[in-house]
């Protein structure tokens, strides 16, 4: 399991455990699973997907370290 935390300038959008996260990286969409290598990446406009939920974003960044995924995003309305 991954610990996921998604924050935007307005509020904490989501915090909890998930099986996988799919993010719109600036070099293309990629999936984060348990035991993913540490990474920091910028995000482009698109959709963050996790456990059947979708969150449209305008951009941001993601950090993965020791099964903890942190996203700082600007939400798309």
Question: What's the confidence (pLDDT) of residue 76?
Answer: 87
Q: Going from the first residue of the chain to its last (77 residues), give the mean pLDDT of each consecutive group of 10, the final group possibly shorter.
A: 96 97 96 96 97 96 98 92
Question: What's the confidence (pLDDT) of residue 72?
Answer: 98
CA nearest 20: which of 8, 35, 7? 35
Question: What's the confidence (pLDDT) of residue 71?
Answer: 98
Question: What's the confidence (pLDDT) of residue 61?
Answer: 97
Question: What's the confidence (pLDDT) of residue 12?
Answer: 96
């Amino acid at each position: 399991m991954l610990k996921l935390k998604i924050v935007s300038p307005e509020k904490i959008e989501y915090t909890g455990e998930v099986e996988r996260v799919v993010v719109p990286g600036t070099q293309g969409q990629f999936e984060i699973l348990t035991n993913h290598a540490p990474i920091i990446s910028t995000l482009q406009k698109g959709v963050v997907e996790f456990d059947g939920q979708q969150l449209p974003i305008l951009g941001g960044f993601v950090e993965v370290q020791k099964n903890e995924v942190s996203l700082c995003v600007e939400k798309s309305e």
